[in-house]
Structure 1
Amino acid sequence: MKHLAHARRTAAVSLAGVAALVLAGCGAQDDGGSVSLGFVNGSTTHFHTCLLHAVEEEAQRTDVTVYSANSKQDAGTELSNIEDMIARNVDALIVQTVNVDALEGDIAKAKGAGIPVYLTSVATDDMADVLGAAVVDLKKVGALDAGWIAEDAAGKKVTVGVVAGAPGAASDLLVGGFEDALPVNAKVVANQPGMFNPVKAQDVAENMIQAHPDLDYAFVANEEMALAVRKAFDAAGAEDVRIVSVNGTEEGVAAVKDGRLSATVANSAATIGQTAVRSTLGLLDGEQGVDKIADIPLVLVTRENLSEAPQYCPK
């Protein structure tokens, strides 16, 4: 694949003089590979940390140089990170966006520099300007949790609280898929953002259970928040509220096993990161049989199928 590092664009040549910039907030794994990738991560949650480790491990295994930056849930920082990666003259960008609405500007900026973009977790409506994507069907993730509630409620009228993530990001798709798939007997009585922050989520849960002491179920947009929500509910004497969540981390699966969570949907960060690097390299090199859009497998994990949960984070 050595030709990939040299046979592309001239649009970014003018940036070569600043390619040695030390990027604020950036890390790098540099093994002297002939292909260089920029990875722009969206946050510092457990998911994002595991995703970074997976990208770095797969890059090292394939003798690829990878530079990383973290946007910390800020769309402006994400665009700045994209610009910094352009300055490094990378061969392609892997982007875990903080906000699907920010992607249009990100992709346009990279396209103007002749650098292809590969997306993780989400895809755009128009993939014409995108190299590819490792996609988690976030609406389906939410729908799987809603399906568990539908089966568990068995037609009884029940109330549901939603602790979302950060508005405008993947959380919107998760919550939308969840609410759309709820049965008519399940009514959402509260929906507040926990910002993917356990401390914030615990505050939200405390207020939610005070306002709705007879709450039956809660959908929480990741397991870190869900475990904080569990603490808040238990402290308020609401141990019977059943919580469903997202990710399938080792801690999350353990919480399903011991009953703190009733179900979670596993979408392995390790698989996403590995797929992103492999597919990016394959698509750059024009390999046959590499899908432009790779669907990441999903597993609804309950006490009945704990062994089916995939490895979440690289060891």
Structure 2
Amino acid sequence: MKSSTRSRRTVAVSLAGTAALLLAGCGSGDDSGGAADGARSLGFVNGSNTHFHTCLLKAVEQEAKTQDAKVYSANSKQDAGTELSNIEDMISRDVDALIVQTVNVDALEGDIAKAKSAGIPIYLTSVATSDMDDVLGAAVVDLKKVGALDAGWIEKDAAGKAATVGIVAGAPGAASDLLVGGFEDALPKTAKVVANQPGMFNPAKAQDVAENMIQSHPDLDYAFVANEEMAFAVRKAFDAAGAKDVKIVSVNGTEEGVAAVEDGRLAATVANSALTIGQTAVKSAVGLLDEKQGVDKISDIPLVLVTKDNLSEAPQYCPK
């Protein structure tokens, strides 16, 4: 039975090459956990412990039950070396496929090679690789577009006037670099980035960055923050410094983030539902393994720029 399953994996890898899989979260808080037994076994290697990653894990586990699949989860805690170790552990479990929420796109080459040599296909969440040949599939968030949508809001709000912008990025590599790159590329020429520092997806770190930023640039007009958890801390820092007029744009579209847009703490946020990403990843990975017709190798996750004018259009972010 195992040998026939392994041969089907090899066929799936060669026929269904596409983006690498990134799924977030660790259910039990350690490096191993699983849903109920199922017809398929999936390894889920999450990148961090943020709200996004926690919601992503919940979505993966819930959809796995629907798809009659068992999930083993691990968390790389923003470390590429830990990510590779987690993938090696999943290989030792002989899972049918690996879903990966990577911590660094550059690290994926080695991860994919390890899994390929073991005959286990990888499915990516959030990002894809430039070479899709050795990947099962991907649920892709166009992170550059996410950044561009926030920049577009600033362009519209500034209405041609000169503006200064601060950036509180995430952790260097993978998602943050793509977000910030898309944001900077789409800013109008009248907007000048005067500060760009990593908040490491850590609210305490982001608050320190924001405190230093507003001291150095007290006339700051806008701030782009790479996720809402950091954005709330940045808002506190700005308000404490008397800079309540700085308009903050962010990313995620969590329930708390949408509420912050409604009450004015955030000016806008871009919703990219963790629920949708997790559901799509599991459903597509299982479908591609089973060679079902009509299953896309690459699935684009819908994006919504959420402002006070369209709060009701924000999709559900986290599973109940």
TM-score in terms of structure 2 length: 0.92
Change (3 A) 1:152 1:113: same
Percent sequence identity over aligned pairs: 81
- In 1, the alpha carbon distance for the partners of 2:67 and 2:297 equals 20
Q: Distance in 2 between matches of 1:273 and 1:197?
A: 23
TM-aligned CA deviation for residue 24 of structure 1: 9.9
Deviations 1:204-253 (A, max 9, x none): 00000000000000000000000000000000000000000000000000
C-alpha contact (below 8 Å) 1:5/1:36 kept by paired residues: no
Tell me which residue corresponds to 1:16.
none
Aligned with 2:305: secondary structure? strand
Letter in 1 for 2:5: A
**Partner in structure 2 of residue 7 of structure 1:** 5
| 8 Å CA contact 2:9, 2:120 repeated in 1 | no
CA separation in 1, counterparts of 2:105 and 2:76?
A: 13
* CA distance in 2 between partners of 1:30 and 1:134 (Å): 21
Residue matched to 2:91: 86
The alignment partner of 1:29 has SS state of coil
Task: Tell me the distance in 2 between the aligned counterparts of 1:9 and 1:288.
Answer: 19
Give the distance between the partners of 1:86 and 1:243, measured in 2 at CA. Answer: 42
Which piece of structure 1 moves more, 30-39 or 241-250? 30-39
- Give the alignment partner of residue 214 of structure 1, picking from 203, 210, 219: 219
Matched residues in 1 for 2:2 and 2:132: separation?
Answer: 22
Q: Of 265, 272, 285, which aligns to 1:280?
A: 285
Q: Would you say 1:172 and 2:170 are equivalent positions? A: no
Whether the 8 Å CA contact 1:5–1:91 is kept in 2: the answer is no
Q: Give the match for residue 155 of structure 2.
A: 150
Give unmatched runs, 5+ long, in structure 2: 11-27
- Structure 2 CA distance for partners of 1:11 and 1:297, relative to 1, 3 Å: closer
TM-score by length of 1: 0.94
Q: Which residue number in structure 1 is paired with residue 243 of structure 2? A: 238
Q: Who is 1:15 aligned against?
A: none
Is the CA contact 1:139–1:178 (under 8 Å) kept in the aligned structure 2? yes
Cα distance in 2, alignment partners of residues 6 and 140 from structure 1: 42
- Which range is displaced more, 57-66 or 265-274? 57-66
Structure 1 residue 61 displacement after superposition: 1.5
Residue 213 of structure 1 aligns to which amino acid in structure 2? P
Offset, 1:30: 3.7
Which of 39, 54, 58 matches 2:63?
Answer: 58
Q: Is the 8 A contact 1:190 1:208 kept in 2?
A: yes
Name the SS for the 2:224 alignment partner.
strand
Distance 1:174 1:121, change over 3 A: same
Q: Deviation per CA, 1:109-147: give whole Å up to 9, x if none.
A: 000000000000000001000000000000000000000
Please list every run of at least 4 consecutive aligned residues from structure 1 whose deviation after the TM superposition is greater than 4 angstroms. 3-6, 9-12
Deviation of residue 4 (structure 1)? 8.7
Q: How does 1:1-315 map to 2 (within 5 A)?
A: 6-9=4-7, 25-315=30-320
**Aligned equivalents of 2:116 and 2:29: distance in 1?**
23
Cα gap change, 1:89/1:161 in structure 2, threshold over 3 Å: closer, same or farther?
A: same
- Work out whether residues 170 and 200 of structure 2, in 8 Å CA contact, stay in contact via their aligned partners in 1: yes
Contact 2:250/2:269, CA 8 A, preserved across alignment: yes
Paired letter, 1:128 = D
User: What is the one-letter code of the residue matched to 1:7?
Assistant: T
Change (3 A) 1:82 1:108: same
Structure 1 Cα separation of the partners of residues 9 and 297 of structure 2: 24
- Residues 260 and 266, structure 2, Cα contact 8 Å, conserved in 1: yes
The amino acid across from 2:67 in the alignment is T
Cα offset, 1:281, TM superposition: 0.5
Q: Aligned AA for 2:248?
A: I
RMSD over aligned Cα atoms? 1.8
Structure 1 runs not aligned, ≥5 long: 13-22
Instruction: Describe the SS at the equivalent of 2:171.
Output: coil
